[in-house]
């Protein structure tokens, strides 16, 4: 077989943690590991459907699970949705401005949320312009508001400082995209390594946390190095020019006396800059250290000084908000170390899921950007926490009927001929079965979502006695056997109709690339999977860009791709037609590929490297991060087009049309006759005369029925 060459550098596969998967999928469009970094075509910048490509009406019903989590919807606080909230700033009128994915948004005192600038669909870039025509790099980490009401954005991915006027016009005021360096000077002459934190001093100068440095931009736009070394990094106190900082200065704030406090995030330290010197104000151990896992590293990327003068920091991985006393001692203010959740409450009764940036409000409260809950949380001076914006994801490991059931990071879905649906539940490390009436049971793997002691506990067995380690893909053969790609165990598993689980290829816990007999072959993070009519199993290796096959005699071989170059690390979804032809979704190149049984490779729909939402023929069509694939009885291919919040149809000739969703400007699931989709990850065509899909979206299982024209 031959490889398609796209000119990209390989990202070699490694065992994926739960956090890594979240970053791959939720943040997939940034740079090397996602697709949004490609240029757009066909007018996606406005957030709505491209002219001539209208959203398709469909009935959307909830079959099992509960809705919530990351999205993107403007409107009243009760229905507004956040994507991945981060840095914040408060205006004089109480408006809260925030970075959300790669957009700048504003939450007004009356509760309404609106988008000021940037993409609503996760399309990173570096374009200046007005409103939704502008583009920022993935999730800028710094935001500051000047006295005239203009916002300044630390666009780390673009190594630049961007300005957003009150009417939404974005311009680059210092640095230049794609040119990371340390150069002092005015405007476009200046260069940054990767600016993160921003804060204005009393004189109107903008302090900038660059990689290992503090920089300062004067009101005339001249950038100078304020403190730290451009050569050495670490934690060393001393005069401004003699001090060393770590490589991640990602939050800062001034106190009432004009002293600057900075989180030296990866060192877990808080540094103080005052009277021409840098000192270490707080230093580990932090409260989360006592119960930390052996591989803990620090990520204190939020800092705020409230109106009472109290210094608060967030431990993103430790799941808590800490208070730093005047003597530098640190104690937990809200949350419980290493315990995630969504619960509101006071102190240790509250739970966060990756609390990130903090903002001290004028009224004495503190806002927390609760990153993986996609919410803003308000913390009062007594430590009481309540959710004020966004809808948290409803995760769990609960069997039951319909909306009472819970999944945790479901990644793949397949339907049997009776209409039962099987789901690969990544974070619960199991396989769930959902009957047509919505009853959810654990078909194989732990009912408690336990992983055991790591991949060494991955084991074969019957039903709930078996153990998985992050199942990523699932397929069914004509005999109703299920095949599961057990990604972090680096194996492919088989589940018989009686629930007996066995390992059919790979060696548990040993990632690698070796073809051969089933027991000696090595796989690396197997992802998508499909079975042809002869019982041959095909699976993709997400980060190697290969498709390999398991023959009926158990032998593993490489069927497609180039392991040396690994250029197609965006291959995720697979489907096989009756003639033995294979369809592949290329998440990063925004295309659908086809490989015939004879080995001829072609791009069936879309254009490599160009994203958008355009219906049309072949190369004229546009996708935005296509993921799951499913073939219908009508011979058409159906695509979960994640970035466009749509289900697309691709005929065997390559004609593309939208059959459900396509409302990417308002990304949130809406149930009903004129339903909407949010992030439809994967889908399965259900049996029956009428066209219906089982779709995983917002961590729940939906039934989507396109309305007939």
Pair 172, 266 in one domain: yes
What's residue 289's pLDDT?
A: 84
Tokens of 415: 């339907």
Task: Work out whether strand 500-505 and strand 491-495 pair parallel, antiparallel, or are unpaired.
Answer: antiparallel
What's residue 295's pLDDT?
A: 66
What's residue 266's pLDDT?
A: 81
Any idea what the CATH number is for the domain that residue 155 is in?
Answer: 2.130.10.10
Q: What distance in Å separates the CA atoms of residue 388 and residue 30, rounded to the nearest whole number?
A: 28
Token pair 């629930």 in the structure block, residue: 499
* Other residues' Cβ atoms within 10 Å of the Cβ of residue 448: 12
Alpha helices, H only, 485-640:
none
Pair 437, 308 in one domain: no
* Domain contains 3: no
Contact status, residue 431 vs residue 444, Cβ threshold 8 Å? yes
* Domain contains 446: yes
* Domain contains 53: no
Pair 580, 538 in one domain: yes
Pair 495, 641 in one domain: yes
Domain endpoint, select from 368, 389, 410: 389
What's residue 569's pLDDT?
A: 54
Any idea what the CATH number is for the domain that residue 483 is in?
Answer: 2.120.10.30
Three-state DSSP at 72 gives: strand
* Domain contains 63: no
* Other residues' Cβ atoms within 10 Å of the Cβ of residue 161: 28
Q: What is the DSSP letter of 607?
A: B
Tokens of 653: 């000739």
Residue 286's nearest CA partner among 323, 321, 330 is 330
- For the CA atoms of the chain, what is the radius of gyration? 25
Residue 271's nearest CA partner among 248, 292, 295 is 248
Pair 420, 368 in one domain: no
Range of the domain at 535: 400-706
Pair 346, 477 in one domain: no
What residue ranges of the chain have pLDDT lower than 50?
Answer: 1-52, 450-456, 563-567
Contact status, residue 429 vs residue 413, Cβ threshold 8 Å? no
Pair 175, 195 in one domain: yes
Three-state DSSP at 318 gives: coil
Pair 291, 416 in one domain: no
Pair 485, 342 in one domain: no
Residue 358's nearest CA partner among 245, 235, 270, 247 is 270
Task: Work out whether strand 39-40 and strand 610-611 pair parallel, antiparallel, or are unpaired.
Answer: parallel
Q: What distance in Å separates the CA atoms of residue 500 and residue 464, rounded to the nearest whole number?
A: 10
Q: What distance in Å separates the CA atoms of residue 696 and residue 709, rounded to the nearest whole number?
A: 25
Residue 602 pairs in a beta bridge with 594
Structurally, the chain folds into a number of domains equal to 2
Domain endpoint, select from 355, 389, 423: 389
Pair 346, 406 in one domain: no
Q: What distance in Å separates the CA atoms of residue 340 and residue 389, rounded to the nearest whole number?
A: 18
How buried is residue 188: exposed, middle or buried, by Cβ count under 10 Å (0-12/13-18/19+)?
middle
Residue 340 pairs in a beta bridge with 352
* Domain contains 12: no
Rounding to the nearest 10 degrees, give the CA dihedral for residues 222, 228, 234, 235. -120
* Domain contains 641: yes
What's residue 566's pLDDT?
A: 43
Residue 628's nearest CA partner among 340, 412, 357, 376 is 412
Three-state DSSP at 157 gives: helix
Pair 173, 274 in one domain: yes
What is the number of residues in the chain?
709
Tokens of 28: 């997939």
Q: What distance in Å separates the CA atoms of residue 626 and residue 658, rounded to the nearest whole number?
A: 13
Q: What is the DSSP letter of 227?
A: E
What's residue 53's pLDDT?
A: 64
Domain endpoint, select from 354, 389, 424: 389
What's residue 60's pLDDT?
A: 97
* Domain contains 497: yes
* Domain contains 5: no
What's residue 161's pLDDT?
A: 98
What's residue 668's pLDDT?
A: 94
Pair 369, 441 in one domain: no
């Amino acid at each position: 077989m031959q490889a398609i060459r796209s000119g990209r550098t390989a990202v070699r596969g490694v065992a994926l943690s739960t956090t890594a998967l979240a970053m791959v999928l939720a943040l997939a469009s940034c740079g090397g590991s996602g697709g949004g970094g490609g240029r757009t075509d066909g007018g996606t910048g406005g957030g709505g459907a491209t002219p001539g490509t209208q959203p398709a009406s469909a009935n959307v019903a909830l079959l099992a699970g509960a809705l919530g989590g990351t999205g993107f919807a403007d409107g009243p606080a009760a229905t507004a949705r956040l994507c991945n909230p981060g840095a914040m700033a408060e205006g004089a009128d109480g408006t809260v401005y925030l970075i959300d994915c790669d957009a700048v948004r504003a939450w007004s005192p009356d509760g309404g949320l609106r988008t000021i600038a940037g993409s609503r669909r996760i399309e990173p870039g570096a374009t200046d312009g007005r409103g939704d025509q502008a583009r920022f790099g993935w999730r800028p980490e710094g935001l500051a508001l000047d006295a005239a009401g203009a916002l300044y954005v630390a666009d780390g991915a673009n190594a630049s400082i961007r300005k957003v006027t009150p009417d939404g016009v974005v311009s680059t005021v210092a640095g230049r995209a794609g040119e990371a360096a340390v150069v002092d000077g005015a405007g476009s002459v200046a260069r940054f390594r990767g600016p993160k934190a921003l804060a204005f001093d009393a004189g109107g100068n903008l302090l900038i946390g660059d990689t290992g440095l503090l920089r300062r931009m004067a009101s005339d736009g001249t950038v100078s190095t304020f403190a730290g070394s451009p050569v050495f990094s670490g934690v060393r106190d001393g005069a401004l020019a003699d001090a060393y900082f770590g490589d991640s200065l990602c939050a800062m704030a001034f106190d009432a006396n004009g002293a600057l406090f900075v989180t030296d995030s990866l060192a877990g330290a808080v540094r103080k800059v005052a009277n021409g010197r840098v000192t270490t104000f707080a230093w580990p151990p932090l409260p989360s250290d006592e119960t930390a896992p052996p591989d803990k590293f620090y990520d204190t990327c939020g800092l705020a000084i409230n109106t009472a003068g109290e210094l608060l920091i967030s431990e993103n991985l430790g799941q808590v908000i800490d208070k730093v006393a005047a003597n530098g001692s640190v104690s937990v203010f809200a949350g419980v170390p290493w315990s995630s959740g969504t619960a509101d409450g006071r102190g240790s009764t509250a739970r966060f899921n990756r609390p990130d940036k903090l903002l001290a409000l004028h009224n004495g409260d503190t806002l927390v950007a609760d990153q993986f809950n996609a919410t803003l949380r308000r913390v009062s001076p007594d430590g009481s926490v309540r959710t004020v914006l966004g809808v948290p994801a409803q995760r769990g490991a609960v069997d039951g009927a319909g909306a009472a059931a819970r999944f945790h990071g479901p990644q793949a879905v397949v339907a049997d001929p009776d209409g039962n649906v099987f789901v690969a539940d990544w974070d619960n490390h199991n396989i769930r079965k959902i009957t047509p009436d919505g009853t959810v049971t654990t078909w194989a793997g732990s009912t408690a979502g336990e992983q055991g002691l790591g991949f060494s506990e991955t084991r074969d067995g019957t039903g709930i006695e078996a153990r998985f380690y992050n199942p990523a893909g699932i397929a069914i053969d004509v005999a109703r056997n299920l095949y599961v790609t057990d990604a972090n165990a680096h194996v492919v598993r088989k589940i018989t109709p009686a629930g007996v689980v066995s390992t059919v290829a790979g060696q548990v816990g040993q990632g690698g690339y070796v073809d051969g007999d089933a027991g000696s072959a090595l796989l690396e993070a197997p992802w998508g999977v499909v079975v042809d009519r002869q019982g041959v199993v095909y699976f993709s290796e997400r980060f190697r860009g290969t498709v390999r096959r398991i023959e009926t005699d158990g032998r593993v071989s490489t069927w497609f791709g180039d392991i040396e170059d690994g250029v197609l690390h965006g291959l995720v979804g697979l489907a096989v037609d009756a003639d033995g032809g294979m369809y592949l979704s290329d998440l990063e190149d925004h295309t659908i590929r086809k490989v015939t049984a004879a080995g001829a490779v072609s791009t069936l729909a879309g254009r490599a490297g160009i994203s958008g939402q355009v219906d049309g023929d072949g190369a004229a069509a546009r996708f935005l991060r296509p993921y799951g694939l499913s073939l219908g009885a009508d011979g058409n291919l159906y695509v979960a087009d994640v970035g466009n919040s749509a289900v697309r149809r691709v005929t065997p000739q390559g004609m593309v049309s939208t059959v459900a969703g396509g409302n990417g400007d308002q990304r949130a699931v809406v149930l009903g006759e004129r339903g909407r989709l949010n992030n439809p990850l994967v889908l399965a065509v259900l049996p029956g005369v009428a066209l219906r899909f089982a779709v995983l979206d917002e961590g729940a299982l939906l039934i989507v029925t396109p309305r007939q024209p």
